Structure 1
């Protein structure tokens, strides 16, 4: 059985794995630092476009999540 990560956990996992600050990840994704903070605190679910940018960024860095394959 696989553990399904929440989006907030994926953001933090990715950032930690790549040794990025919240500011650095925000710059990579073209979003604000506050946006990354909200995502990590699970205060806000990102829009579909932002999710797409995040998953594309992860894929470009060799990070994939099982949920993407299940679609």
Structure 2
């Protein structure tokens, strides 16, 4: 399984995942177990996720792909 480490386009990836799933930043934050401010900073490129948060995000996306909710 290929794991992408800190992609340069992470802010766009987060926005696109939220758009496809029709989630607010608050809802995505809750699903990932992080704060709204964390998701906001990721999208604005102010911070990159920790390794743990990156893994949680990847697992969340993988689950949503399996469920057919994410392309």
- Superposition TM-score, scaled by structure 2 size: 0.80
Give SS of 1:20's match.
coil
> For the structure 1 residues 32 and 44, does the alpha-carbon distance in structure 2 shift closer, same or farther, using more than 3 Å as the test?
same
Which of 1, 10, 14 does residue 11 from structure 1 map onto?
A: 14
Aligned to 2:32: 29
RMSD: 1.6
Give SS of 1:43's match.
coil
> For the structure 1 residues 5 and 61, does the alpha-carbon distance in structure 2 shift closer, same or farther, using more than 3 Å as the test?
farther
Kindly state the Cα deviation for residue 5 of structure 1 after the two structures are TM-superposed. Answer: 6.3
C-alpha distance in structure 2 between counterparts of 1:15 and 1:57, whole Å: 12
Following TM superposition, the consecutive aligned residue runs of length 4 or more in structure 1 with deviations greater than 6 angstroms are none
Unaligned runs of 5+ in 2: 1-6
C-alpha distance in structure 2 between counterparts of 1:27 and 1:18, whole Å: 14
Give SS of 1:31's match.
coil
- Superposition TM-score, scaled by structure 1 size: 0.80
> How many residues get paired?
61
